Amino acid sequence: MSAPMTFPNDFLWGGALAANQYEGAYDADGKGLSVQDVMPQGIVGPRTEAPTPDNLKLEGIDFYHRYKEDIALLAEMGFKVFRFSIAWSRIFPKGDETEPNEAGLAFYDRVLDELEKYGIEPLVTISHYETPLHLSREYNGWADRRMIGFFERYARTLFERYGRRVKYWLTFNEINSVLHEPFMSGGINTPKEELSEQDLYQAIHHELVASASATRIAHEVSPDLKVGCMILAIPFYPLTPDPRDVWAAKQAERDNYTFGDVHVRGAYPGYFLRKLRDKGIELDITEDDRRTLAEHTVDFVSFSYYMSSCETATQEREASGGNLMGGVVNPTLEVSQWGWAIDPRGLRTILNDYWDRWGKPLFIVENGLGARDELITGPDGTPTVADDYRIDYMNDHLVQVREAIADGVQVIGYTSWGCIDCVSASTAQMSKRYGFIYVDRNDDGTGTLERYRKQSFGWYRDVIASNGASLKA
C-alpha cells in the first residue's frame, strides 16, 4: 500500500512576520531602539549613528496601528497559525532593565486578543534580529556573557505574561545566521571585519546557552509550552561527484547542523570541537553551561527554507546569491529576481535530513518568493496583483512538503514568509515582496499603506480550506 499523500488534519497552515519588518511605531509607547533602527539599508549598506528618515523599518507597514484589519485578512484566508516576533525593545527598551515596559506588553495582549477572536494559534519568535541597540553598544551584544541573564529575564516575562495563550515559541530567528551577520543577528557591535573568530564563537555559545535556558524557564512556567530552535536551512550540494566537492558540501552543511545538534542533542558535536581546535579557539564553557545545554533540549525544530546552493573545493566558480549565506551557483536551477536559487525539491531533502538526524517534529516557519509585484485593476475593479509566479513557487514547495510527509517525516505546520508585504531584512526594500496581501508603500517611503488582496490570497485560502488537496502535483 502506498503512503497517504495528504497533510495531517491538524496541520498548522499560516504565515510569518517579524516585528522590525512590519510593526513600525519604532519609538511608540516607550519602545527603545533596536539594531534595525540603525540599518537603513539592511545588510547591504552602512549603519547609522541614529535612526534616519530613509529607514523604512521605522514605519514598517504600520501593523502597530492596523493589526485588527491585518489579522482579519489573515483570518479571511483561513490561517490556523500566525508566526510573529515580539520586539525585545518594546518590553525592555534598553534590554538591561529589571522591570518591563507595561505599554509594550499590553500591545501584544491586544494582538493575542485579536488572534484568539479568530481561533488563530500564535507562534512567537522571542528574538528576530531585534537586539536592543543599548545591549549592542554597551555590551557588544551576544559577545558578552551577561546577555544570557538579560535574555532569561525577557523570556521569563513573556512566558509568564502570555504562556496561557501562546503554546509555540521560538528562541532565536535563524540562529546560525550570526556566523555571517553578527550585528543584525547577534547584536555584536564590533564590525564584522574586525571581529575575531574567538569572540564570534563565544557569542554563539552564549546564545545557545540562553536558548536552552529559555527552554528550561518555559517548561517551569508550564509543561504545556513547546519551545523550538529556528535554523536558516540551506541544503548544500557538491558541485561535482569529486569526493573533495562532496566533503566541501558536507562541511558547509555542518556549519548549520551544529546549531540543531546542540539544541536537539544537548552537546557540541565532535566535528565542531575539532573545528575549534583547528582554529585554535578555546571557548569559556562552564559546568553550568554544559548542564543547561544537556538538560533543556528543544521540543521541536523549526527552520526557514528559500533556496539551496552548491559547494566546491576544486573549481573557481561564481558565488551564488543567497539568504545571508551561500556557496557557488548551481547551474541546473533558475533564480529569483534577487538571485536566490529556486529549488522545491531541496525542501523535501531538508525535511528528510532533519527528521533522519534529529527525529523531532519539524515546523517550516519561513518559505516564499521575494518578487517585484505590479498592481493592476482586478475584474471587480479593485486593485490586485497577478502573482502566478508566487503561486507556482509555493505550490511546488508545498507539493514537496506533502512528499516528505509521505516519506514519514513529521511536519507540524507551514508559515510562509512575509504573508503581508513588509520591509526586506537583507536589503530593507519594500519592493522585495513576499505577501498574499499587497501593501501600498514604495522604496522611497511614499504610499497610502492601503492593503490589497493579490491573486495568491484566494489561492492560499483554497489550499488551506482543502488542507492541501487543491495543490497541483
Query: Which is nearest to 375 in space by CA: 319, 300, 430, 317?
Result: 430
Can residue 171 be called a binding residue for ligand BG6 (CB under 6 A)? no
Q: Which of 385, 426, 441, 457 binds ligand BG6 (CB under 6 A)?
A: 426
Nearer to ligand BG6, 330 or 367 (CB): 367
Integer Cα distance of 150 and 148 in angstroms = 6
Smallest distance, Å, CB 45 to ligand BG6?
13
* Binding region for ligand BG6 (CB under 6 A) out of 72-80, 288-296, 307-315, 421-429: 421-429
Closest residue (Cβ) to ligand BG6? 426
Smallest distance, Å, CB 278 to ligand BG6?
29
Integer Cα distance of 300 and 334 in angstroms = 32
Write out the DSSP string of 157-179. Answer: HHHHHHTTT--EEEEETTGGGGG
Integer Cα distance of 349 and 310 in angstroms = 14
Residue appearing with cell numbers 492560499: 460
DSSP state of 37: G
Smallest distance, Å, CB 422 to ligand BG6?
7
Smallest distance, Å, CB 273 to ligand BG6?
28
DSSP state of 376: E
Smallest distance, Å, CB 424 to ligand BG6?
3
Helical axes 388-406 vs 455-465, angle rounded to 10°:
20
Can residue 56 be called a binding residue for ligand BG6 (CB under 6 A)? no
Can residue 303 be called a binding residue for ligand BG6 (CB under 6 A)? no
66 to 60, 111, 162: CA distances (angstroms): 11, 10, 21
Q: Going along 66-131, which residue ranges are E strands?
A: 81-85, 121-127
Integer Cα distance of 207 and 167 in angstroms = 22
Can residue 89 be called a binding residue for ligand BG6 (CB under 6 A)? no
User: Taking the alpha carbons of 209, 215, 218, 220 in that order, is the dihedral positive or negative?
Assistant: negative
Q: Which of 23, 70, 121, 174 binds ligand BG6 (CB under 6 A)?
A: 174
Burial of 41 (0-12, 13-18, 19+ CB in 10 A): middle
Instruction: Please tell me the count of residues contacting ligand BG6 according to CB under 6 A.
Output: 14
Query: Which is nearest to 73 in space by CA: 394, 421, 334, 310?
Result: 421
Q: Is 363 helix (H, G, I), strand (E, B) or coil?
A: strand
Integer Cα distance of 358 and 361 in angstroms = 9
Can residue 302 be called a binding residue for ligand BG6 (CB under 6 A)? no
Nearer to ligand BG6, 118 or 389 (CB): 389
Smallest distance, Å, CB 178 to ligand BG6?
12
User: Taking the alpha carbons of 134, 32, 429, 339 in that order, is the dihedral positive or negative?
Assistant: positive
Q: Which of residues 368-397 bind ligand BG6 (CB under 6 A)?
A: 370
Q: Which of 124, 126, 425, 471 binds ligand BG6 (CB under 6 A)?
A: 425
174: annotated active-site residue: yes
Over the window 129 to 168, marking each residue x when it contacts ligand BG6 by CB under 6 A and - when it does not, the resulting string is ----------------------------------------
DSSP state of 194: G
Q: Grid coordinates standing for 147?
A: 546577555
Can residue 17 be called a binding residue for ligand BG6 (CB under 6 A)? no
* Binding region for ligand BG6 (CB under 6 A) out of 59-67, 265-273, 403-411, 424-432: 424-432
Please, which residues bridge with residue 123 across strands? 83, 168
Q: Which of 12, 18, 203, 298 binds ligand BG6 (CB under 6 A)?
A: 18
Smallest distance, Å, CB 428 to ligand BG6?
8
Q: Choosing from 130, 174, 181, 253, which is the catalytic residue?
A: 174
* Binding region for ligand BG6 (CB under 6 A) out of 152-160, 259-267, 269-277, 417-425: 417-425
Can residue 366 be called a binding residue for ligand BG6 (CB under 6 A)? yes
Can residue 309 be called a binding residue for ligand BG6 (CB under 6 A)? no
Give residue 29's identity as a one-letter amino acid code.
D
437-439 and 451-453 beta bridge pairing: antiparallel
* Binding region for ligand BG6 (CB under 6 A) out of 51-59, 99-107, 378-386, 420-428: 420-428
Residues near ligand BG6, by CB under 6 A: 18, 21, 173-174, 304, 323-324, 366, 370, 417, 424-426, 432
Q: What residues are annotated to the active site? A: 174, 366
